[in-house]
Structure 1
Amino acid sequence: MQAFQVRAPHDFGIVDIDAPKAINGEVLVRVAFAGICGSDMHIIHGDNAFVRFPRITGHEFAGVIEAVGESVEGVAVGERVCIDPVINCGECYPCRIGRPNVCTRLEVIGVHRNGGFEEHVSVPAANVHRLPENVSLDQAALVEPYTIAANVLERMQPHEGDGLLIFGAGVIGLTILQVARAQGLSDITVCDVIDTRLETARELGASHTVNGQKEDVEAVMAERTGGEGVPLIADAACVPSLFPSIVRMASPAGRIGLLGFNATPSDLVQLEVIKKELTLVGSRLNNRKFPEVIEMLASGRLDATALVSHRLPFAEMSEAIHMIDHHPEKARKVLIDLSA
């Protein structure tokens, strides 16, 4: 069978490999669709500290179960599923307190073990989620990025009527926008430096947009909030130099959600945090958010297809990578059709 393999940084392509088998406790999935994520690009460029090479990437995917291993219950051959990439030990401190997404022995499908950019993949049965009839496989391949959004929003604990400021109108920023609207938030401002991305944010329901290169974001938000500040700020731009400004813009009792893996230090004025009693929360992957997002798709509160800018066959993976690298302003979510 064929798979997209990253052999080493900048060394990648479609290769022929032996098909995996469904071992004990796992199921074999015939992959239908898979999405290319920014973290896949980090692996390709050697910027992911967690990956082990060579690696078949892909952690956003959906397909059909073709075989089940021994001791597997609750799922059957022929069922349509999407896959939560978070594999946890169930024993360490984070797991014991219900935070498996930061398990001390965490494994992520597509990072620590082979992922969805292959025609067949074997995954733990505990990680598959069956799909309602009205959720298509292409939508299901995009459940994972929406779980990132659902996770950071839960970490920030929105209250009814809260205003939300999202930094970054890339894929994660747009999923946060969509999930926040689906959860009932209506006062949502999106900040980016690319006008086309801000246009997309408005199309997806942002009530306000700000171009950070053309406008003073702090002044704009001060005017919009009457000087009170913003209750909720999600940093999906992940630019460390923005952090002091984000802290200044937060309202007293505000909550700031951080998503970036950038190792560059950020300035932090403790006085700003303490006098406002701010809550700063990190958010990594998702903490069992797949059922919630699947329900949003099934109910029509989320439209995952609105996120897709390109659909390409598996044979054009290298072209897709080149487009994302060289024309990121044109690519929101690139969806790969492995059945084409």
Structure 2
Amino acid sequence: MGKGGSLSHSVLRKILLSYTYVAIWIFLSFTVIVYNKYILDKKMYNWPFPISLTIIHMSFCASLAFLLINVFKFVEPVSMSSHLYLSSVVPIGALYSLSLWFSNSAYIYLSVSFIQMLKALMPVAVYSIGVLLKKEPFKPNTMLNMLSISLGVAIAAYGEARFDTWGVILQLGAVSFEATRLVMIQILLTSKGITLNPITSLYYVAPCCLVFLLVPWIYVEFPVLKEISDFHFDFLIFGTNSLCAFALNLAVFLLVGKTSALTMNVAGVVKDWLLIAFSWSVIKDTVTPINLFGYGLAFLGVAYYNHSKLQALKVKEAQKTTTEAGEEAGRLLKDTQGQETGSSNTESQN
């Protein structure tokens, strides 16, 4: 009874911790999205400089990551040659900078709710790029699932009250660059046995992002910022915004490390619905019935995709367990045969 009670307590504690990690990640992701929208939207804080905001984020995150690794020794740096850095990390950094730049730019033109609906295309982009680069096998059922998600997003776009072509292009570009980045991480780093947690990732990738972002910033935003004589850098606004962005990276580390990437995908769907509800009720963005019907269709497609991934993961784990059990049985049989051979030799000598 006592043993069963302690087991139940342990399982309950694990479940509560998992839900806590999910809640923290949803809260911080929710906060960063709404905060960025507040800063960039012309009707709110009115600071429409997405490249500058991204540079502030990357500078803050890179500095904190440097302190956590080199001063506080919070995590160990990854051993990396200059060739590996240039051939693997730099391309990933370039894609990440483009993804962040385009994603933040979209907040100027589109509502929070519609942006979340467009983000439902992420599995479609990741799978399509994976198939093109031969990292994912082509499956007709999966492609049909991807088409259903795309159809749902298209219906949601058709019903969007504040449709802006340039904003949609920016957000679709952000999705494409982010999906390519995720596939390239698998090709350039994971396949080589290198894994970067959010802190080491920022430590290596953030400086690349800064370099890549400085080029468009000098030509696009710097001349405009020079002419704004009445602008004063608000350390409270940009400091807390950057801190939230860094905390979100830590939350990703906790959530994926303590649960799984699949849990984060499922939690992301919950977060999207919460953001849509918040955008409609608090920010007063217009959400039409066609919006909801289209996103509902896309949501079902994403839910089915996550379910399929979960089932595939279970099959893989079962196969791994069976293989390990077979290997263990083989070792035991070999040891038994060895002992029997040893006994026979001893008896012969006697």
- Considering fraction of residues, name the structure with more strand: 1
TM-score by length of 1: 0.26
Which structure would you say has the larger Rg? 2
Q: Which has the higher contact order (CA 8 A, sep 6+)?
A: 2
TM-score by length of 2: 0.25
- Considering fraction of residues, name the structure with more helix: 2
